[in-house]
Amino acid sequence: MSDFAIGVDLGGTSLRVAVVEDKGTLLEKLTLSTKVLRGPERVVAAMCDSIAALQTRYKSNGKMMGIGVGVPGIIDLHTGVLRESPNLPGWHDYPVLQEIEHRLGTRVILENDANVGAMGEYWLGAGRGYDSMFMYTLGTGIGGGIVFEGAIWHGMTGMAGEPGHTTIEPKGPPCACGNRGCLEQFAGATAVIRMAKEAIAEGHAPKLKREVDNGQELNPQLVYKLATQGDKASRAIYRTVGEALGISVASMINVLNLPIFVIGGGVAGAWEAFSPYIFEEVRKRSFVYNATAPPEGERIAPGCTHITHALLGADSGLYGAARLPMLPEERKAHSTNARSSSRAL
């Protein structure tokens, strides 16, 4: 017998639902074939059917502690409405929380996907054992999450933890957010692909060009593969990724003085190729880091600043979403404005 919660990870391309015990064991994971792009009503209906089925299946297992749902985009914490989601076209201003709660007849906790990813890593991954944590999620773009003393830091309106849109290069490439030279323009998957295309167009990347001409898809994995084989152009791209991240991490360390900064998301799979440049930049730019760098090889050194990669891969969001209803009241949200539903379970 063990109590459990249900976590949902609603991604731009897939929908996953999992049952997770309060000790962190994943009991079952469903990947639904429902196409997210087919519109919110169908997706929410399929999601709720799966939740209800899992709830019934594990009813004798222990107490059902609640349901947490991670969604990509900006959520209005007061109303549970999805304000903006570049990865979910057609969901703009959709009352996602209300619809889920209406169908299930119970309260659920809605959270931004990067925040649940951070909570998952904090609970069972790279952040385990630390008091607070900052996480970068390098996906198509760059998300982020701050776990501060065990709770997600939402800020005033739920928009805190967006390192992807802080400036790295004042006159850099324009970003969809309206700024120029955002971190996202140098370190997300879209950025890696853009830099690779530019290098090919400028004639600097003959090996990349050959792979693409042979039908290989130009993506961060291909650039990483060539980088590990010593290809100069590919290595230079990941050098840019690492330097941009290092500039950002150095600033965050100086501002927040947190014990751990975690780099996750798909592009973080190329950690070996870009991480040396993160450390190089951070040592150059952060006096707080230089005063608190950990001794070589120590995972948790008290009073030290750790920079590392995520451990849970694509499942971090599922674990984090399931963790939300398990948290004690005072850790459910770090915002006086947080929606009351998170207190109703």
- Residue with structure tokens 């323009």? 185
| Cβ-based nearer residue to Zn ion, 127 or 188 | 188
Burial 98-125 (b: 16+ CB within 10 A, else e): ebbbeebebbbbbbbbbbbbbbbbbbbb
Judged by DSSP in three states, 259 sits in coil
Binding-site member from 109, 110, 119, 182 for Zn ion (CB under 5 A): 182
Binding-site member from 152, 175, 195, 200 for Zn ion (CB under 5 A): 175
Does position 174 bind Zn ion by CB under 5 A? no
Q: How far is CA 120 from the centre of its chain?
A: 10
- H helix runs in the chain, sequence order: 40-57, 96-104, 113-124, 184-187, 189-201, 206-213, 220-228, 232-256, 271-285, 287-292, 316-323
Contact range with Zn ion by CB under 5 A, out of 130-138, 173-181, 298-306, 307-315: 173-181
| Cβ-based nearer residue to Zn ion, 186 or 319 | 186
- Please tell me the total number of residues recorded for the chain in this structure: 345
Contact range with Zn ion by CB under 5 A, out of 16-24, 90-98, 160-168, 249-257: 160-168
Contact range with Zn ion by CB under 5 A, out of 16-24, 34-42, 135-143, 172-180: 172-180
Does position 179 bind Zn ion by CB under 5 A? yes
| CA distance linking residue 13 with residue 49, whole number of Å | 19
Nearest approach in angstroms of CB 144 to Zn ion is 12
| Cβ-based nearer residue to Zn ion, 175 or 267 | 175
| CA distance linking residue 100 with residue 46, whole number of Å | 10
Nearest approach in angstroms of CB 18 to Zn ion is 31
| Cβ-based nearer residue to Zn ion, 175 or 245 | 175
Judged by DSSP in three states, 49 sits in helix
How many other CB atoms are found less than 10 A from the CB of residue 59? 11
Does position 177 bind Zn ion by CB under 5 A? yes
Contact range with Zn ion by CB under 5 A, out of 40-48, 161-169, 274-282, 287-295: 161-169
Closest by Cα among 143, 153, 136, 148 to 245: 136
Contact range with Zn ion by CB under 5 A, out of 31-39, 73-81, 150-158, 168-176: 168-176
- Report residue 178 as tokens: 């309206």
| Cβ-based nearer residue to Zn ion, 43 or 168 | 168
| Number of residues lying near Zn ion (CB under 5 A) | 5
Binding-site member from 165, 207, 239, 331 for Zn ion (CB under 5 A): 165
- Report residue 238 as tokens: 């990941």
| CA distance linking residue 86 with residue 303, whole number of Å | 39
Nearest approach in angstroms of CB 163 to Zn ion is 10
| Cβ-based nearer residue to Zn ion, 175 or 282 | 175
List all residues 6 or more positions away from 210 whose beta carbon is below 8 Å from its beta carbon: none
| Cβ-based nearer residue to Zn ion, 147 or 175 | 175
Does position 209 bind Zn ion by CB under 5 A? no
Does position 108 bind Zn ion by CB under 5 A? no
Q: Binding residues for Zn ion, per CB under 5 A?
A: 165, 175, 177, 179, 182
